[in-house]
Amino acid sequence: MSYLFSYDYRYDDNAYDTETSNKQVDVEDSIGQIYVKYVEPGTAQYGGIFDNTMLRLHRTKHEQFVRDAMHGLSSGFAVLDASQPWLSFWSLNSLDIMGRTIDSTTRTQALQTVRRFQDQRGGFCGGQGQLPHLAGTYASVMALVLVGGDDAFASINRERMYEWLMTMKREDGAFAVHEDGEVDVRGVYCVLVVASLLNIMTAELVSGVAEFVARCQTCEGGLGPYPGVEAHGGYTLCGLAALEIIGSTHVLDLKRLARWMSARQMAFEGGFSGRTNKLVDGCYSYWVGGAFSILQRALSRTPQDDMLYERRALQRYVLACCQDMRIGGLRDKPGKSADLYHTMYGLLGLSLAQHYVGVDPQTRITDTTSVYSVPARMMQWDVVTSAADVVGVSSNVVKPVHPVYGVSLVPLAKCIKYFYALPPLAPSL
């Protein structure tokens, strides 16, 4: 049982309605209609006894939704022609988080698909014949992590990858996402994830990164895409995770960041918004929820301190409001349709809310100078089983995931083991 539901938590526009406030009220109306179904009759006016035992993760429906998408998409998805590696990553990761098998046929098809996107100059493209792109490279590498196996890992040209990444490097420490492309903290994250997994980290690659990310922190406390731009949940995760990889989260004002992130959890809905005065969205279950896990480590907090957000309220939002019971899959919010993007990020957020994945402050590795300190620090992240907090029935449990990389721990460990058996490009950072 939980006493989290009350109409007293609804948004107050102070009798001055705007287009934004009206949309907020509409969303709360739709969510209230769902939540009241889970409240014991006659108790809503007293705080609402929310019956969590009624909440179910409809895993079989979501698996079918993902597998149907992997077998072919309609012509309407042509708009995602430059996001083809992402479709593979979203699908494979969703199956893995739900504990579903990536069978040999699916593995072979995924491996053949992703291999085609690798550019001879280095990096991966969003589609055949396109420019290599940091986002497509990140998604391709993460898909290969999930596919697993020496053949998948060996298909990545590390040397060409590093050369191409360095051509994207800018003097201010950031990276362009493609040749003559935009520069933002998303690109920094993609580079550091890829480089840290493939054992191609060098001092030249990470030079100026921490300083660039620090300049992206706004007066609100969150991080924007580049200096001077509004804070956003997605860019906050990207910047914070990038700093965690290089051991530099201390360059941020962490207390100000914590205030901004805490304000992203909506009091009535339980889910997160991505920006100030924006609506709740299921994808921020990971973009903000995952950032909380990294912040927990940065602040040297322990499982006894718990997280700085309400884990059970987030699970309630994902399970009650984000599941599309018509076609399967997860969605942004009630009234929206499910898609692969929201399915994966909703499941990631659900996982991190269920499981406490963190680093023991007493034993954490602090060295940031050795190339091998990167995998050592990243693999220190582990599941604290005693701090699990699962809403609903036990069958709702999904796999624990690494908050920095957004994949489960076993395929991640296998990838790191393979690439760090190879010689590094540089002895130190």
Question: Catalytic: 281?
Answer: yes
> Distance of CA 272 to CAs 72, 260, 277, 346, 362, Å?
31, 12, 11, 11, 31
Residue 370's CB is within 10 A of a number of other CB atoms, namely: 14
Q: What distance lies between CA 281 and its chain's CA centroid?
A: 13
Question: Catalytic: 420?
Answer: no
Q: Which of 342, 355, 377, 402 is catalytic?
A: 342
Question: Catalytic: 284?
Answer: yes
> Distance of CA 162 to CAs 115, 121, 159, 246, 427, Å?
17, 10, 5, 17, 15
In angstroms, the first-to-last Cα distance of the chain is: 50
Q: Which of 283, 321, 322, 415 is catalytic?
A: 283
Backbone angles phi, psi at 280, to 5 degrees: -60, 150
Q: Which of 9, 284, 317, 420 is catalytic?
A: 284
Q: Which of 339, 355, 356, 418 is catalytic?
A: 339
The pair of three-digit structure tokens given for residue 2, joined into one six-digit string: 């939980």
Question: Catalytic: 71?
Answer: no
Q: Which of 9, 332, 345, 418 is catalytic?
A: 332
In eight-state DSSP terms, residue 349 is H
Question: Catalytic: 250?
Answer: no
Give the integer Cα–Cα distance in Å for 30 and 51.
19
Question: Catalytic: 339?
Answer: yes
Question: Catalytic: 305?
Answer: no
Residues with Cβ within 8 Å of residue 288, at least 6 apart in sequence: 233, 236, 237, 261, 264, 265, 272, 274, 309
Q: Which of 96, 281, 286, 356 is catalytic?
A: 281
Q: Which of 100, 115, 278, 301 is catalytic?
A: 278
Q: Which of 169, 186, 232, 331 is catalytic?
A: 232
Question: Catalytic: 12?
Answer: no
Question: Catalytic: 238?
Answer: no
Active-site residue list? 232, 275, 278, 281, 283-284, 332, 339, 342
